[in-house]
A and B are shown apart, each in its own frame.
Chain A
Amino acid sequence: MTKYVVASANEIEPGQRKIIELEGRSIGVFNLDGEYFALLNQCPHAGAELAAYGTIFGVSASEGPDQSIEYERGRSLRCPWHQWEFNVRTGESWYDPRNTKVRKYEVEVIPGSPEEVVDPDGGMQKGPHVMEGYAISVEGDVVVVDTSRRRAGTQGKKVPTAPCAVTQSASTA
């Protein structure tokens, strides 16, 4: 249960990202039009540096081949290797959200400079990059990544999904 201060808010411009390391893991923190999101920097498919080199893309949907295509920019992160789409807000892949997803971290922006918000007795901690690479005297809001809410990872233990037809053969037999 740890929150880390990883950057000052004005450090990650809209449309930009920052790669940090927390608890031995590489994590990408994104600023999309003022909203911040953080995802593990590793694609669950083949391990590419998804957050570092992935493309922020839109999500398209359509009711049918002769219907309009709804397209919303800034919703997905596409892997640099195979262009699989992940929901940048949830880490879920588009095509199999339950079984193929990249770990997501909660991000918040809180007021105050790093000196003011870091708790020396635990709780809020200075993120390593902030300590090493950046002056911690930056004025203004800070970006905080929370590593505490873990969900079960999916890499290497995909839930087998039964083919539909086989499982219901009794219904017409």
Chain B
Amino acid sequence: MFNLACFREPSERLGALKTMATNVLAENAPAVTQSVRPAVVDCDVHPILASSTALLPYLDEYWADQLTAALSPTYEPNYHPRGSAIAQRLDATLDEEGRAATTVEALVKDVFADGFTDFAILNCLYAVQQIHQPRREAAHARALNTWIAREWLDHDPRLRASIVVPMGTPRAAAEEIAYWAAQDDRFVQVLVLGQSELLLGREINWPIWEAAEKAGLPVAIHIGGVFRQAPTSVGWPTTYLEWYVGQQANLEAQLCSIVSEGILQKFPATKIVVTEVGFNWLPPFLWKFDKLWKSYRPDLPWVDRLPSELIREHVRFTTAPSDGAEEPGRLDNIVSRMGSDQMLVYSSDYPHNHHSGSRDIEAGTTDVGLLDRIYRHNASDLYNLVVPTSSGKAE
């Protein structure tokens, strides 16, 4: 029973193969017979909206005037305050105000600098989700996604993006997902935040899961929040340190909720990418979840397998921050404890600055096959991104 669960249905695999044929980089347009390989995907890169006025061209007249009349407040969430150690790496290309990742030129220059990364997925953290007025939130989400498409995706074929959704109104979030899925396949994922108003498994949030599944898109759960309530489950922390570290516990609560509320039975094609929250905390959490599930299973009779088994099948984790996995043997160790080499996907978390470089995780293992899974195959399984083998890159 352990083995079967992880294999895709044959029909699903066929679909993926068909997509592979069409998703190749345009600039290297291959002959029909050209072979492809899974792309190296940087699964978490952050474009920064420097000013809310940049959204004015993408808001309709009513919402543009509303923003202007309010003196164009920013909804910059300060998840990574500009002066803090984590905000931007020291070698990043900066704009005239000293900020990284505010222009597509600067971001592309840095993210693809090593000639290794084939695609990068943009997760824009500008916090439309913190707008409490539902229609304003939806309007700004649409504007932000349009800004991402026009100002970023249109300028480099190696960029992909997550759909920012108005989390305050799940029905509107579902509409946003359907809107982009129908017209722009460069949006390869849905972005939600780890601190939601109600747990992500709750029925009120099902429209988001339903729409993502229907569109065939993974859902990234990223560090961040809607701030309708305190950002930890027991109240307001007083320091940034507490907030950032504390989000890990929120992700445990979200995974508990998603599994327990039956999201993975109700929407069985769901894929989740836990993003920028680390992963070293996962094994003890899974152990406890499994252990207690054996005692309380009758509370959730639709969960017919070990929670860890469901999470291994449906949930992925980005590699930055690395949680110390770059120490010799540590990456092997964590993968062994996770019980799967298919759960980690590569990310740089550019421009954010963590204690180790994006690819330092290579020092944590001697298993090139594992690195190949992390860099290429695991993300390829999620996003169907491939490049021609003739691109001259190392295989």
**A166→B263 CA distance, assembly (Å):** 24
Residue A85 at the chain B interface, CB threshold 8 Å: yes
Residues of B contacting A69 in the complex (Cβ-Cβ under 8 angstroms): 301
Residue B237 at the chain A interface, CB threshold 8 Å: no
What's the nearest-Cβ distance from chain B to residue A137, in Å?
A: 44
Residue A168 at the chain B interface, CB threshold 8 Å: yes
**A57→B263 CA distance, assembly (Å):** 27
Residues of A contacting B380 in the complex (Cβ-Cβ under 8 angstroms): 172
Residue B298 at the chain A interface, CB threshold 8 Å: yes
What's the nearest-Cβ distance from chain A to residue B301, in Å?
A: 4
Residues of B contacting A61 in the complex (Cβ-Cβ under 8 angstroms): 301, 304
Residues of B contacting A148 in the complex (Cβ-Cβ under 8 angstroms): none
- CB nearest to A169 among chain B residues: B341
Selected from B302, B304, B340, B372, the residue in CB contact (under 8 A) with A163 is: B340
Residues of B contacting A63 in the complex (Cβ-Cβ under 8 angstroms): 265, 302
Residues of B contacting A65 in the complex (Cβ-Cβ under 8 angstroms): 203, 261-263, 265-266, 300, 302
With contacts A164-B340, A168-B7 known, is A64 near B266, CB below 8 A?
yes
Residues of B contacting A162 in the complex (Cβ-Cβ under 8 angstroms): 2-3
What's the nearest-Cβ distance from chain B to residue A159, in Å?
A: 11
Residue B46 at the chain A interface, CB threshold 8 Å: no
Cβ contact within 8 Å between A85 and B340:
no
With contacts A83-B295, A172-B381 known, is A161 near B2, CB below 8 A?
yes
B residues 267-307 in Cβ contact with A at 8 Å: 293-298, 300-302, 304, 306
Residue B339 at the chain A interface, CB threshold 8 Å: yes
- CB nearest to A57 among chain B residues: B298
With contacts A82-B294, A94-B297 known, is A67 near B340, CB below 8 A?
no
**A57→B296 CA distance, assembly (Å):** 13
**A95→B289 CA distance, assembly (Å):** 13
Residues of B contacting A161 in the complex (Cβ-Cβ under 8 angstroms): 2
**A166→B5 CA distance, assembly (Å):** 12
Residues of A contacting B343 in the complex (Cβ-Cβ under 8 angstroms): 165
Chain A 136-173 interface mask (CB, 8 Å, partner B; 1/0): 00000000000000000000000001111111110111
Residue A66 at the chain B interface, CB threshold 8 Å: yes
Residue A84 at the chain B interface, CB threshold 8 Å: yes
Cβ contact within 8 Å between A60 and B301:
yes
**A82→B295 CA distance, assembly (Å):** 6
With contacts A64-B266, A65-B262, A173-B369 known, is A166 near B294, CB below 8 A?
no
Selected from A83, A164, A172, the residue in CB contact (under 8 A) with B5 is: A164
**A165→B286 CA distance, assembly (Å):** 15
Residues of B contacting A84 in the complex (Cβ-Cβ under 8 angstroms): 294-295
With most chain A CB atoms within 10 A of its CB, the pick from B3, B263, B301, B373 is B301
Residues of A contacting B7 in the complex (Cβ-Cβ under 8 angstroms): 168, 171
Residues of B contacting A168 in the complex (Cβ-Cβ under 8 angstroms): 3, 6-7
Residue B313 at the chain A interface, CB threshold 8 Å: yes
With most chain B CB atoms within 10 A of its CB, the pick from A62, A67, A163, A171 is A163
**A164→B2 CA distance, assembly (Å):** 5
With contacts A84-B294, A169-B342 known, is A164 near B261, CB below 8 A?
no
Could you show 7 A-B contacts with beta carbons less than 8 Å apart? A70-B301, A84-B295, A162-B2, A166-B339, A167-B2, A169-B369, A173-B372
Interface residues of B (CB under 8 A from A): 2-7, 203, 261-263, 265-266, 293-298, 300-302, 304, 306, 309, 312-313, 339-343, 369, 372-373, 377, 380-381
- Add 8 more A-B contacts to A162-B3, A164-B340 (CB < 8 A): A62-B301, A65-B266, A83-B296, A94-B297, A163-B2, A165-B6, A167-B3, A172-B381
Q: Which 5 A-B pairs have the closest CB atoms?
A: A65-B262, A165-B340, A163-B339, A60-B301, A164-B6
